[in-house]
Every structure is written in C-alpha cells, then in structure tokens.
Amino acid sequence: MNPQQCREAVVYAAHKIYERQMVNTNEGNVSVCYDGRVYITPSQVCKELLTPEMIVVTNLEGNQLEGTGKASSELLLHLEVYRCRPDVHSVVHTHSPFATAFAIARKPIETKAYTEMIYFYDKIPVAAYGAPGTPAITADVGRVLKMSDVFLLANHGAVAVGKDATDAYLKAESMESLAKTLTINRIIGGEAPLSDEELEFMYRQRKEKLGLGRVE
C-alpha cells in the first residue's frame, strides 16, 4: 500500500463505524500500520467528516510525522497492539452500544448456545481497566491479544484488529452484532445451551477449520 491508500483505508473504516452507529460525534478511532508508519484518525473530529488529508501519521514510537491535527488520544493503545502483534496492520476502536454495555459491566461476551459465536470467537475477553488516553489502558492488551482479535476495554469500549482496515472493521461489526443478539436473547428469557457433546463438536470444528483454540 502507498501512503494515500493507507489514508483512504482509515477513512473508509472510520466512515463505516459512524454509518453503522458504532461511534458518535468524537468517539472511537481507526489506524493502519504500514512500513513503520501509523496512519490514525485525528482527535476530536467526527468520523463522518474525515477526509484522507486529515489523517495523522506517526512512527511506531508515537512521534508525529505528518498532519496538522493531533493524533487520537488512544494512539498509545494502537501502538501497543502493533508492538504485541506484528501480524496486525489495522486497529478499529469503537463504542458500539451493545459491546460497550458488556465492557461497562466488565463481562466477556460469551455463550453456550450461539453456534456462530462459539465457532468464530468462543469468548470475547475483557482487558483490565486503564484510564482512557493514558499508558494504563495498554497494560492488559498483550494478554487479550494472545487469545483474540476482538476484545473489550473495561468500562470503555471495544477493539478489533485485522490484516487491514476492512478486516478490522468487519470484526468490530461482527462483535457488535453478537453482543446485540445475546442481549436480546437474555431479555426474552435466556439461551437454550448446547449439550457438552454438541459444544465439543463446535470446538473441534473451530480447531480443525480455523486453527483456533479455546479462549481462556
């Protein structure tokens, strides 16, 4: 990817999370990491209004290289993801309502009944609380990234990582849909869990077809 393509990829994902009501006004942030540079949404700019020219560029140490605006206040979170997972090239952080409700409750998104959830994610973990915009928010990121490409930030929001901005955005959207479905399910009376045998079959399928194990 060239620099312009990186900027456009960030804008695309930022527009999508706003369009899907996964952020409001100034919430959330998106970045792409390529060739030692991080292209990230600026602070305090509505995602719907972003253009490629507004994207801020930093190095992997967080030093700003390009852009007249200020990098997102969650730049440290994005840098920690790239440090922990060199295979990741994009981070999407949202405050999507249903996933964020789980985060505020400090409850992982998990089920013994929803087959798609079990197959693709098993469980979406919660990273321990750290104040937003401070180094503390990164303290538990390495642990959850070893288990999952999607996770919750306690009392804050949701994060998805991927091979590119579209991949990360789609995972963020999937996480929100799962959280919404499980919330509705619990309102109408709760899940009908799979049997132990049925669960083990799903876990085997997850391992054999996706190469993924259980999320602790």
Signed CA dihedral, 174, 158, 194, 120: sign only: positive
For residue 68, give the nearest of 88, 51, 93, 46 by alpha carbon: 51
Burial class (CB in 10 A: 0-12, 13-18, 19+), 3: middle
Size of the chain in residues: 216
**Strand residues in the chain grouped as ranges (E):** 29-34, 37-40, 56-59, 64-66, 90-94, 109-110, 123-124, 126-127, 150-153, 157-162
Instruction: Quote the CA–CA distance of 128 and 140 in Å, as a whole number.
Output: 6
165 contacts 9 by C-beta, under 8 angstroms: yes
For residue 43, give the nearest of 157, 131, 132 by alpha carbon: 132
Query: Distances in Å between the alpha carbon of 91 and those of 13, 14, 29, 216?
Result: 10, 11, 8, 22
DSSP helix/strand/coil, 49: helix
Active site residue 27: no
- Which of these is catalytic: 74, 80, 173, 176? 74
What are the residue numbers of the active site? 74
